[in-house]
Amino acid sequence: MKVLIYGGGAREHAIAWKVSQSPLLTKLYLAKANDGFSSLGEVIEFNRFVDLANSAKQEGIDLLIVGPEDPLVNGIVDEFKKLDIPAIGPGKDWAMLEGSKAFAKKFMKDNDIPTGEYLTISDKSEIDDVLNQFGMPVVVKADGLAAGKGVFIASSRDDAKITIEEFLDGKFGEASESIVVEEFLEGDEVSLISLWDGETLLPMIPARDYKKLLDGDQGPNTGGMGAYCPVELKKEEQTEINEYINKLEVALKREKADFAGVVYSGLILTKDGIKVLEYNMRFGDPETQPLLMHLDSDLLMLFVKAAKKQLKDVNINWKNDMTLCVVVAADGYPFSPKKGGSIENIQKIQAELGVQVFYAGVKQDGSNLIANGGRVLSICKNGSYPHQDIYKAAEELEYIHKYYRKDIENKVGERV
């Protein structure tokens, strides 16, 4: 098979790394890959999705795999569909489950899927009436995509009001023309990533990411500073998650979600049971990095089964133990990450410590790979206690501006 992977983060590097191991693959193509993994395939340059789809048709590409949310919301899959090229990812219509918080909330309410209470606001005159319906803290969310920055937990009514006004005044452009105000929920979070073929929802093992910048879950939100899988669940939590999966499968079928792709449920385990915080219509970043290292099945085979509506009889195999991932970012991330600084000794740390590095914010400068800001790379390993080697690799990594959390770990046995 000829396969095209779209996206340039560590998540897409992990997808490309795993797909490259498939005996089904004859040639890999990449769009928007970063310089850290572009050598895994042939890079296709393009201006518009329609041009990329035309190039894919000419090359005889059999499958498109989309990593990030923006191209999904902006219709990349619709362009490929016009040329009968199968894709992993929804068209614009179902990308809305991630692209509009209000759409997602309505979908959940219409289908009796447990989630926090919510109201929407699109005019400042509605703010007081809406806030009267909620206790504090309360969650304020921009309706559209805001690069992970459109969610604010307000601890006072004044903070909530100021935030809603800022959002409606255009803080995130079109994305914050409408606001979702939502009940604040407390509990441990679980990322449940499932494959969907239009009829069957096939869950992967539960994962967890670390969204805060600083140790102890302090500081600002980020794109994700680390992740691990599997998450140990109590028996009753696992039962609830199974019930939830059945409910979501029925809902997607009922609403005729006719696409092959990924449905990521952001779950929270509250004292009143599991609830859905959000949907993403793609793999999570950084959860995908440990998840795909932990996967013992052929990822491309799973995608092919999804594209052919054949997930019904598929079992996914997983490695033993656990897989952990620590993200190395540039100092100053997420507000003003330092750019530059060469990354010297990746081959050495991979060989000596058995870790796998997936690249994100990097670029080639002559013969050097240099950091390009933001999240720079992910260091991952599978094993019974991979923490030690991952952190040794992070310490030994020769990159001057490195920043990483020191407390990414799976506290085995803690929850069970």
> Could you list the residues that contact ligand GLY (CB under 6 A)?
209, 224, 280, 284-285, 287
* Complex with ligand GLY: residue 178 or 378, whichever CB lies closer: 378
The whole-angstrom separation of Cα 250 and Cα 285 is 27
Which of 55, 56, 89 has the alpha carbon at shortest distance from 74?
89
Instruction: Assess contact for 30 and 42: CB atoms under 8 A.
Output: yes
* Complex with ligand GLY: residue 287 or 409, whichever CB lies closer: 287
- Minimum distance of ligand GLY from residue 39's CB (angstroms): 25
* Complex with ligand GLY: residue 284 or 374, whichever CB lies closer: 284
Q: Is the dihedral of CA 216, 219, 225, 231 positive or negative?
A: positive
- Minimum distance of ligand GLY from residue 320's CB (angstroms): 24
- Minimum distance of ligand GLY from residue 284's CB (angstroms): 3
Which of 383, 16, 8 has the alpha carbon at shortest distance from 229?
383
* Complex with ligand GLY: residue 9 or 86, whichever CB lies closer: 9
Instruction: Assess contact for 30 and 38: CB atoms under 8 A.
Output: yes
- Minimum distance of ligand GLY from residue 151's CB (angstroms): 11
- Minimum distance of ligand GLY from residue 258's CB (angstroms): 24
Beta bridge partners of 264: 193, 280
* Complex with ligand GLY: residue 219 or 354, whichever CB lies closer: 219
Which of 124, 122, 128 has the alpha carbon at shortest distance from 158?
128
Write out the two tokens for 280. Answer: 């993403």
Check residue 207 and report its DSSP letter.
B
Instruction: Assess contact for 127 and 121: CB atoms under 8 A.
Output: yes
- Minimum distance of ligand GLY from residue 88's CB (angstroms): 16
The whole-angstrom separation of Cα 113 and Cα 276 is 8
C-beta nearest to ligand GLY: residue: 284
* Complex with ligand GLY: residue 116 or 150, whichever CB lies closer: 150
Instruction: Assess contact for 276 and 267: CB atoms under 8 A.
Output: yes
